[in-house]
Copies of this chain bind each other. A is one copy, B any other.
Amino acid sequence: MADDSIGAYAPTPADRFTFGLWTVGNRGRDPFGFETRPALDPVDAVYALADLGAFGVNFHDDDLVPFGSTAGEREAIMKRFRRALDDTGLRVPMATTNLFSQPVFKEGAFTANDPAVRRYAVAKTLDSIDMGVELGASVYVMWGGREGCECDAAKDVRLALDRYKEAVDLCCAYVRDRGYDVRFALEPKPNEPRGDILLPTVGHALAFVHALEWPEMVGLNPEFAHETMSGLSFHHGVAQTLWAEKLFHIDLNAQRIGKYDQDFRFGSEGIRDAFYTVKLLEDAGWDGSRHFDAHAYRTESIDGVWDFARGCMRTYLMLRDKVARFHADPEIQAALEVAQVARIADPTSPGGLGADAITALRAGPHDVAALAEVGYGLERLDQLVTELLLGTR
């Protein structure tokens, strides 16, 4: 980006921006085309991300230690990677397991019909948890990309949820047994690569957590693209997650509704939704990572990959700046008053849930006609936000 603007929106580790090895390491393969970029050495990723001002780097087990590596190979890789972390101060706040690439998981992982597949999925996850903990991760993400079906006759969903619960409980039991300081974050997604994926939205995953053995150990990792694919409001989903005290991690990127999983640069689509997401996180005092689960266009060489990473962070910072302006803008504040936004904090029944309070509430008076006449000034308020976003206020 322009030299003269670096000062204004230059990220630092204090901003807690993180990337996955699989994001900057994405080689541009897609369902219709081969790789367009060479492989990126994870160690090179560490140095580059640190250089750009990132706080951390996250990974799937197979991103760092190729599937099928020997224990010795694993050891060497870990050592070299840790050295780069130490060297740069880059952190590993989160780790996760790849339970989707290998053919063994084609029918499912934690919810595969075959118990032998499920056992392997759990075992692979436990190995991977060890690896994450070894590098300092305190959040462990679970994305069940293969948990689902295309042929509905082949999957008993209720039993599959039993198995899903069992697998998460097993991981929790393991972490407790080892005394690890790790919490789990479920990442919902509606479809792709499966026709329908279990726990398809933030809501379904939140509900699922209540059935677990140790619900306090498990929260969510909502992803912008995943909720948006279904046309749901991402920041409403994040708000409900925060309301339930279950926001354990967050994946930021961009996506158009009703399309394949695009994982675009944060803010490149849905600027308004991106703004309200940033506003929600900042207003709520979110102190976790701002993780970008996205990748560069297939048209890019490695330079474009770093442009992509820079862009994610800069846009977040620009939007964060707009959040501050939102709160400081007297016209916006006046419009919020007209819209009676703050009054939603007032209880409906000031007297509580008792019978007398309810009788009083019911008795009214209710001036329905007068209430129906009130205008809320939302066109003006929304336009003010538009102008804030466009930088004209």
Contacts and interface: CB of A to CB of B under 8 A. Distances in A.
Contacts of A204: 201-203, 206-207, 237, 240
A28 B376 CA distance: 13
Interface stretch (A13-21, A47-55, A74-82, A150-158): A150-158
A297 B153 CA distance: 14
A83 interface: no
A10 interface: no
Contact of A1 (B208, B299, B383): B383
Assembly of this chain: how many copies? 4
Interface string A25-44: 00011111111100000000
A115 B347 contact: yes
A197 to B, nearest CB: 9
A371 B104 contact: yes
A64 interface: no
B122 A378 contact: no
A348 to B, nearest CB: 4
A102 B257 contact: no
A344 B156 contact: yes
Contacts of A202: 203-204
Interface stretch (A88-96, A133-141, A355-363): A355-363
Contacts of A118: 348
A199 B303 CA distance: 31
Given A231-B256, A380-B1, A374 B155 contact: no
Interface string A222-236: 000000011111011
Nearest to A284: B158
A248 interface: no
A101 B379 contact: no
A177 B358 contact: yes
Interface in A176-202: 177, 190-193, 195-196, 198-202
Contacts of A368: 102, 104, 120
A271 B269 CA distance: 9
A390 B391 contact: yes
B207 A240 contact: yes
Contacts of A203: 199-207
Interface string A372-393: 1111111111111111011111
A304 interface: yes
A318 B392 contact: yes
A134 to B, nearest CB: 17
Contacts of A207: 203-204, 206-207, 210, 240, 244
A243 B158 contact: yes
Contacts of A145: 32
Nearest to A276: B152
Contacts of A256: 191, 195, 231, 257
Contacts of A119: 348-349, 361, 364, 366
Contact of A33 (B106, B123, B260): B106
Given A122-B361, A314-B383, A8 B392 contact: yes
Contacts of A364: 119-120, 123
22 contacts: A2-B393, A31-B192, A34-B103, A104-B371, A107-B340, A107-B374, A116-B367, A158-B242, A160-B344, A192-B259, A199-B203, A200-B201, A200-B203, A200-B233, A203-B203, A203-B205, A203-B206, A204-B207, A260-B261, A268-B383, A304-B379, A315-B387
Given A173-B353, A271-B386, 18 more contacts: A2-B331, A110-B348, A120-B371, A123-B362, A123-B366, A151-B297, A151-B379, A153-B382, A158-B242, A191-B259, A201-B204, A202-B204, A231-B257, A257-B258, A297-B379, A304-B375, A314-B383, A318-B387
